[in-house]
Amino acid sequence: MSVIPPGLSRQFSLDRSWPFILDLLVFATVLAAFYGVLTVAHYWLGQAVPATEISRSPRSLPRYAFYSLVRMAIAYLLSLVFAVTYGRIAAYNKTLQPFMVAILDILQSIPVLSFLPGVMLAMVSLFPSKQVGVELGSIILIFTGQVWNMAFSFYSSLKSMPRELSEASTIYRFGKWQRFFQLELPFGTIGLIWNSIVSVAGGWFFLMACEMFVLGKRDFRLPGLGSYLQTAAGNGDTYAMIWGLVAMIGVILLIDQLIWRPAIAWSGKFKFEQVESTQVPTSPLLHLLRNSRVLNAFREKTIEPLSERVNLYFASHKPEHPQSTTTPAWLKSLGALLAVVAIGGVGYEVFRAFGLLRGVTGGEFKGLMKGAGATFLRVNVSLLIASAWTIPAGVAIGFNPRLARIMQPVTQVAASVPATALFPVLLLAIVQLGGGLGVGSVALMLLGTQWYILFNVIAGASAIPSDMKEVANLFHFSRADRWRIVILPGIFPYLVTGLVTASGGAWNASIVAEYFHFKDSVMSTIGLGAQISAATDAGRFDTLLMATIIMATLVVCTNRLVWRPLYRLAETKYRLES
Amino acid sequence: MLETIIEARGLEKFYGEPGENVIQVIAPTDISVCAGEILAVLGPSGSGKSTLLRMLTGLSKPSAGEVLWHGKPVAVQAPNVSIVFQSFALFPWLTVLENVEAPLKARGVAEIPRRKRSLKILETVGLDGFEAAYPKELSGGMKQRVGFARALVVEPEVLFMDEPFSALDVLTAENLRTETLELWANKSIPTRAIYLVTHNIEEAVLLADRIIVLGKNPGRIRTDFQVGLPQPRDRKSAGFLQRVDYIYKVLTQPDAAPQLAPETEIAASAGAGPRGAPRVKYPMLPHARPGGISGMLEILTDRGGHDDIYHLADDLSFEIDDVLPIVEASAMLGLVRVSEGDVELTPAGHHYVDADIAERKELFGKAAMERVTLIRQIKRALESKSNHTLPDEFFHDTLDEHFSEEETIQQLETAINWGRYAGLFDYDSGSRKFYISDEEPETVTA
């Protein structure tokens, strides 16, 4: 850049000593990454060992943490690529759009474990003798837990793009490449980042389920933090469990500081706003990275010229007349043919699935329905309990700036520390107290879901304009009136958002909350989640399919019949317009 | 006449399949843009001026007719055009320089010439020194300068401007207008013609060589004339005022005020719609609030009961989009008479101004029931139901046949506003139902 405002030069000289140290750090990171790739490659391409002996020694924790991280990272990258591709197709293809959105809706409601048998068996038979098969299976499982809301986020970003911005790209003849990197991706970035955070948190939640499971007669145990925690909890080894927890919380905090914080600060530039906001999130790490000489040189010497070349290539090879590019007839017929094949395939599979479902006896079906009722009850009880304490607490925090200042870091840590890490501890406590899982699982669900409500209520309460509160003071509203007229309507939209997320989370959590391997035996209670887990364990695919269908139907129906109308109400009647 | 760059013949835009209920947005229109001219296209909201611009640039496909650039259809070539947008449409994540470079990048211009050209154009529009800034760090005027720079960097043959100054404050807008005119007059920009969409009459008369005034419902050309005043123009000069006045007259002439007698108007205009799309015209509610109507009537009274619309708008610093609906609504209710760009209070209007709040509501309600089709329809339909309640979809469907989706919603919003003010009926936005007020629907929350 030829022009540097004069005020900046002083700041540059102050930073000069930092980049040197940082450059060393960057080198070290690159070296470590290289070694890491070698290790993983060696392990993946080695003999298939589906059920590793999980060591409970804390000394193996760094290695386990590393393996889990690699799995999470790959699953996340896969999710990102898939989400962007899927969102883009769904947003632009008018024919496919309704189907693709409906598919997202349904897939989102299917619990991770229901994907397990299909994914695992496919992957293992794809790479029968190499570890990579089992690993890929686990990665895809994590992927299925993360990807849907990200895809939905990108889709809705594209749909909400301001018309003039998109027209500007057309009138200035942006090609697909440039349009994607200068318009679509930047516009979707903020939504993608926030959803990524939620998704990855969900990934940690189900890490235990994704790394260690029984599938019929086959026992799968992959070296990782999830397996470590599960083994420790299953053996009642408190010492190992504390070590595992410390490791997991440490890793999550590190990711929060090293990845999400800088990402949020960085994404500030993608905010679609006319004026600069006063409160800008900052990240010291991002500041350092931006000033690293090595990274900057790397970018200038490699990435920028490369993107320049790619861009030039696309710019000179795109069709000259953007409007006249109609799809050639052969492509259309190929598309139609593919559609027919796909519909036929789906029809056949549905037919087969129904065939499979015939294996479920009437008695079993009744059992499943009973389980569904029990889980339904549990989910709603957990939502009620969560609301009962989070609404007053959230409002208190949101209304009191001093309290908010104190609580903010605490709640942020609580948010990034997965409640799931505490899961095994709570489980042991429940076992020791002698309470069964029937009640205990509600507590377990609570652990995972109450935070969504709390954070949303805090956000809602602090968004209530102070003049509304002043009116309440002025007219001496009673406490009940204050809640009925000001607070509850004010937080309503946020509360609904929190409840929707929490409800989805609770359903999903039921599969780990209602069923647990403990000291060579199984603890479980009546519930759909337990039935899904048990069916996976036993390799009963028919029951698994039936239970999954029931759960997906229940979740989708609740969304359509309860949450969506409430959402609409929140958006129309209870919206606080500025 | 100079060389014609763009020639559009029988350009039309409508929604729906021909033969069914067609919603005509733009009636068949011929329009041309010639080299060396600044053409201003002026019209009230709903006259399709933005739609016309999008069809001429090739952004949107006309439903019928064709757009020719130098005699060739726009669809088979990529005409060298740029648009300056009302909302600026800058990419907030790109710096000023990157924003300006983006169109060149799209055309495969290599890095070094690209940078050179961009810096040069930034200098031309007075943005040197701001290269590294992000749009959100700039003021509105500066942002629009970036918009201009980005539009000019590709050296467009025709520069399209879609209400480029209407998001800016008065002084900034005036400054930018003058500078644009200077760039154009000095030939500092290689652009051969400028197409300016605006709803500001003075802006059009100030800048344009030729002005097209559009009418609405459906959009069509009302007048197309050469301004014929030398630049720079003086707002106070007789020639300037005369042209401004002329445009006001065109905009307020009879066919824009069919509301005086809705029933006869329907009969008169049936079958007289645009060719190829015969349809019955449904009288359209102007989007004015009762409060705005009362306010204007009071001001009129202060001025002796009549005034020139242009003066009225000017004194209130309203643009035509703000003042016309109020005038039209008052005329529709029979409270004023409009002729030749003047408004005059009718006896009913005087009576209304003299009345107190409760009486005003009653007068308003009576006039609305007598003269406003939609209000009358809603009231009668509600009365005919035993529970005096109807979902808004009911009226939505009726209006759908005559208006676009967006317009239908606005029509109902205005009707609700009027109905509530006059105490004729009410609307519950929770259950989305119309009802007559003395009987509350079951779902009323505190």
For the record, the structure tokens of A527 come out as 């519930």
Q: Is A210 in the same domain as A200?
A: yes
pLDDT(A559) > 60 = yes
Min mean pLDDT across A313-317, A359-363, B136-140 is at A313-317
Q: Is A259 in the same domain as A403?
A: no
| Helix, strand, coil in percent for chain B, rounding step 5 | 45, 20, 35
Phi, psi of B100 (to 5 degrees): -75, -30
Residue A464 lies in a domain: yes
The number of beta carbons lying within 10 Å of the beta carbon of residue A246 is 13
Q: Is A200 in the same domain as A79?
A: yes
Is the distance from CB of B427 to CB of B370 less than 8 angstroms? Answer: no
Residue A133 lies in a domain: yes
Rg (CA), chain B: 24
Average pLDDT over residues A289-298: 72
Q: Is A369 in the same domain as A447?
A: yes
Residue A165 touches partner B, C-beta closer than 8 Å: yes
Average pLDDT, chain A: 78
Residue A347 to residue A96: CA distance in whole angstroms: 18
Nearest one of A148, A149, A131, A138 to A115, comparing CA atoms: A138
Q: Is A415 in the same domain as A271?
A: no
What confidence tens digit (pLDDT) does each residue in A334-368 have? 888 888 888 888 888 777 777 777 777 888 888 88
The number of beta carbons lying within 10 Å of the beta carbon of residue B272 is 8
pLDDT(B406) > 90 = no
Host domain of residue A339:
329-358
Residues 6+ apart with CB under 8 A from B16: B22, B23
Choose the mutation target among B134, B136, B162, B168 for the interface with A, i.e. most A CBs under 10 Å. Answer: B136
Residue A142 lies in a domain: yes
Is the distance from CB of A175 to CB of A315 less than 8 angstroms? Answer: yes
Question: Residue A456 is part of a domain; what is its CATH number?
Answer: 1.10.3720.10
Which residues is B215 bridged to in the sheet?
A: B220
Min mean pLDDT across A384-398, A442-456, B190-204 is at A442-456
- The predicted pLDDT at position B101 comes to 92
Q: Chain B: give the shortest CA distance to residue A178, in Å.
A: 7
What confidence tens digit (pLDDT) does each residue in A5-57 have? 333 333 443 444 555 666 677 777 777 777 777 777 777 667 766 667 778 88
Residue B186 to residue A250: CA distance in whole angstroms: 66
What confidence tens digit (pLDDT) does each residue in B250-263 have? 887 755 433 323 33
pLDDT(A275) > 70 = no
Min mean pLDDT across A40-54, B13-27, B269-283 is at B269-283
Q: Is A335 in the same domain as A369?
A: no
Rg (CA), chain A: 26
Residue A35 lies in a domain: no
Q: Is A71 in the same domain as A142?
A: yes
Cis-peptide into A401, omega within 30 deg: no
Angle formed by the axes of helices B111-124 and B96-106, to 10°? 130
Residue B15 touches partner A, C-beta closer than 8 Å: no
H runs (alpha helix) in A400-513: 401-416, 419-433, 437-463, 466-474, 479-481, 488-513
A-B contacts at Cβ under 8 angstroms: 101
Domain boundary assignment for chain B:
4-252, 373-446
Q: Which residues of B touch A308 (CB under 8 A)?
A: 111
How many domains are contained in chain A?
3
Asked whether the beta carbons of residue B92 and residue A1 sit closer than 8 angstroms, the reply is no
Share of chain A above pLDDT 70, in %: 85
Asked whether the beta carbons of residue A164 and residue B111 sit closer than 8 angstroms, the reply is no
Residue B82 to residue A257: CA distance in whole angstroms: 44
Asked whether the beta carbons of residue A168 and residue B85 sit closer than 8 angstroms, the reply is yes
The number of beta carbons lying within 10 Å of the beta carbon of residue A212 is 25
Q: Is A349 in the same domain as A438?
A: no
Q: Which ipTM was obtained for this model?
A: 0.70
Asked whether the beta carbons of residue A182 and residue B94 sit closer than 8 angstroms, the reply is yes
Phi, psi of B48 (to 5 degrees): 80, 25
| Burial zone of B294 (CB within 10 Å; 0-12 exposed, 13-18 middle, 19+ buried) | buried
Per-residue confidence at A282, pLDDT binned at 50, 70, 90? low
* CATH number listed for the domain at residues B4-252: 3.40.50.300
Per-residue confidence at A577, pLDDT binned at 50, 70, 90? low
For the question of whether the overall pTM of this predicted structure is more than 0.80, the answer is no
Q: Is A461 in the same domain as A523?
A: yes
Nearest one of A501, A539, A269 to A383, comparing CA atoms: A501
- The predicted pLDDT at position A411 comes to 66
Residue B307, classed as helix, strand or coil, is strand
Phi, psi of A400 (to 5 degrees): -110, 100
Average pLDDT, chain B: 82
Residue of B nearest to A312 (CA): B108
Residue B335 to residue B259: CA distance in whole angstroms: 11
Tell me the CA distances in angstroms from A29 to A61, A67, A73, A93, B420, one per residue in order.
20, 17, 16, 42, 68
Phi, psi of B90 (to 5 degrees): -85, 155
- The predicted pLDDT at position B402 comes to 77
Asked whether the beta carbons of residue A167 and residue B85 sit closer than 8 angstroms, the reply is yes
Residue A408 to residue A397: CA distance in whole angstroms: 9
For the record, the structure tokens of A122 come out as 């496919």
Q: Is the dihedral of CA A70, A76, A82, A84 positive or negative?
A: negative
pLDDT(B17) > 70 = no
Residue A429 to residue A181: CA distance in whole angstroms: 51
Residue A555 to residue A557: CA distance in whole angstroms: 5
The b/e string for A342-371 (b: 16+ C-beta within 10 A; e otherwise) is eeeeeeeeeeeeeeeeeebeeebeebbeeb
In chain B, residues 101-160 whose CB comes closer than 8 Å to chain A: 102-103, 105-108, 110-111, 119, 129, 131-132, 134, 136-137, 140, 143, 150, 154
What confidence tens digit (pLDDT) does each residue in A512-554 have? 788 877 666 777 888 888 888 888 888 777 888 888 888 888 8
Is the distance from CB of B392 to CB of B427 less than 8 angstroms? Answer: yes
What confidence tens digit (pLDDT) does each residue in B382-391 have? 888 888 888 8
Amino acid at B298: E
Residue A268 touches partner B, C-beta closer than 8 Å: no
> B261-264: long-range contacts at Cβ-Cβ below 8 A with a sequence spacing of 24 or more?
B262/B332, B262/B371, B262/B372, B262/B373
Q: Is A124 in the same domain as A230?
A: yes
Q: Is A251 in the same domain as A385?
A: no
Residue of B nearest to A177 (CA): B106
Residue A5 lies in a domain: no
Residue A22 lies in a domain: no
Q: Is A268 in the same domain as A408?
A: no
- The predicted pLDDT at position A276 comes to 53
Residue A204 to residue A206: CA distance in whole angstroms: 5
For the record, the structure tokens of B437 come out as 């007020």
Choose the mutation target among A274, A304, A573 for the interface with B, i.e. most B CBs under 10 Å. Answer: A274
Q: Which residues of A touch B112 (CB under 8 A)?
A: none
- The predicted pLDDT at position A578 comes to 43
- How is residue B230 annotated by DSSP? P
- Which residue in the set A4, A168, A273 is minimally distant from B92, CB to CB? A273
- The predicted pLDDT at position A204 comes to 80
Is the distance from CB of A390 to CB of A457 less than 8 angstroms? Answer: yes
